[in-house]
Every structure is written in C-alpha cells, then in structure tokens.
Amino acid sequence: DRSIKISPSILSADFANFGAECRAIEAQGADWVHVDVMDGHFVPNLTFGPAMCAAIRPHIKGVMDVHLMISPVDAYIEAFAKAGSDIITAHLEAGPHIHRTLQAIRGAGAKAGVSLNPGTGLEDMPYLLDMVDMVLVMTVNPGFGGQKFIHSQVDKVRRLREMIGDRPIHIQIDGGITPETAPLVAAAGADVLVAGSAVFKGGSVSNPAPYGENIRAI
Ligand code: DX5
Ligand code: ZN
C-alpha cells in the first residue's frame, strides 16, 4: 500500500558508506531516511550524533527522520535541527519534561515527534497531541536492529489512531517490521514504517536492487 511511507533505518546500513547508502535507498524507493541516535545511557548502544547527521544531509533529497534515543535531550536539539533534521523524535521516557522538549524541537524549526517504548501507555497523549507532528510507537525495546516484533503494540496503535482523530499526525512504527508485520500495523492506523534489517538484507551499495525489492515487499 503506497500511502504507507517506508523510512529505512541506516542502523542496518554499511557504517563506512552512509552517504552512498542514503542515495541508494532513496533511488530504490525509500520515502524517508531514518537515523537512529543512541547514547549508551538511555539505550544500551552507541551510534552517532549531529555531526554525522550534517554529513549525510546532502546525500538525502527527502525527509531526514531523526530518532533520538538519548537522555538528556534538550541540550542537543539545536544541533540536530542545524544538522538539517526535518523531523526530530524524542522519547516520552527520556526525561521529566517531554512537553518542553517538544516545544524546543518546534522552536528550532523542525517537525516534532514523540516516541513511546513498548512498556509505555497512552495516558499522557491527550496533553501532547497538539505538540506533535508524529507519534512513534516502538514495536521492540530500543537499542538494536533485528529484534522480534512485539505484537501487544498493535492494539496500542489502534487506540492511538482513535485518539488522534482528524489531527494531521503521523503514526510511525519502529522495530521488527517485515512483510508479515507491516500489514498488521498499517491496518491499525500506522502510516510511516521504519525498517532496518528487512530493507538492507541481501543488498549493498554496489548491489542496491535488493533494497528496492525489500521496500516493495513491505
Ligand atoms: C531500534 C531502532 C530501529 C531499528 C529497527 O532501537 O530504533 O530503528 O533500526 O531495526 P529493525 O527494522 O531491524 O527492527
Ligand atoms: Zn529508530
């Protein structure tokens, strides 16, 4: 269903070739490019920061979708906005002041997303929906690619879509998206699917056609 956008996660790309990987996935039909920023504190893994985002920006024609798995967040928002992020997503669980964080993201000129871990409920959403352009529902515990999809999240997506009503807010899903799980979250109301291992498997910068086949299969 092509009203569903695919945002491949470069966490599964070749770390020595990010620029070329971004060009390859866009040429193969990626709608957005998902950038997973991890701090070794909020999540048990380390990736990259704003300098890497700025470096890949010229290699992305479309949306640079930056997922911050860091705590604290606020001190880094300006840097990620200046790096050319179109959407900056912060975790509800990353600190006591998500409302302030979302204000700061919009204040820095980017679209704002709020992300929910699998163990987080929807109780706070009524107070945040007018602050966001996207809600990211994690379908794995954040930190690593290639984990198994957590099925209990599908009902969360359905209830979130109901709460959103006619507001122009994307629901993004991240973790364990495959041709088998994508239809479940799409039917529940998600419209942007992140996929790392399922997009990059079998391909490379010198053999990018599998990326396109994988994207179309989702
Ligand atoms: C996990 C990251 C995801 C990850 C998804 O913390 O936020 O974006 O790259 O990888 P797959 O699609 O392999 O589950
Ligand atoms: Zn992510």
pLDDT at 72: 97
Is 174 marked active-site?
A: yes
ipTM of this complex prediction, to 2 decimal places: 0.99
User: Which residue of the set 36, 65, 86, 133 is catalytic?
Assistant: 36
Average pLDDT over residues 185-195: 98
pLDDT at 2: 59
Average pLDDT over residues 76-105: 98
Question: Which chain residues have CB less than 5 Å from ligand 2, an ion?
Answer: 36, 67, 174
The angle at the Cα of 177, spanning 150 to 96, to the nearest 5 degrees, equals: 60
Q: Which residues pair with 171 in a beta bridge?
A: 135
CA-closest candidate to residue 175, choices 115, 86, 131, 114: 115
If one residue of 42, 140, 181 were mutated to test the ligand 1 pocket, choosing by the most ligand atoms within 8 A of its CB, it would be 140
Is it the case that residue 142 has pLDDT exceeding 60?
Answer: yes
Is it the case that residue 1 has pLDDT exceeding 70?
Answer: no
Element (H, E) at 56: helix 50-56
8 lines ligand 1 (CB under 6 A): no
- pLDDT tens for 32-53 read 999 999 999 999 999 999 999 9
Is 1 marked active-site?
A: no
Q: Would you say 161 and 173 are in contact if contact means Cβ atoms under 8 Å apart?
A: no
Q: How far apart are CA 15 and CA 148, in angstroms?
A: 23
113 lines ligand 1 (CB under 6 A): no
- pLDDT tens for 149-165 read 999 999 999 999 999 99
pLDDT at 33: 98
Hey, whose CA ends up nearest to atom 10 of ligand 1?
A: 145
Percent of the chain with pLDDT over 90: 99
pLDDT at 162: 98
Is it the case that residue 10 has pLDDT exceeding 90?
Answer: yes
pTM for the whole thing?
A: 0.98
Instruction: State the angle between helix axes of 98-107 and 74-82 in degrees (0 to 180), rounded to the nearest 10.
Output: 20
Residue 112 CA to ligand 2 centre (angstroms): 15
Domain boundary assignment for the chain = 5-217
Average pLDDT over residues 113-132: 98
Average pLDDT over residues 47-63: 98
50 lines ligand 1 (CB under 6 A): no
- Does domain 5-217 correspond to CATH entry 3.20.20.70? yes
Can you say which residues are annotated as belonging to the binding site for substrate? 9, 67, 143-146, 174-176, 196-197
70 lines ligand 1 (CB under 6 A): no
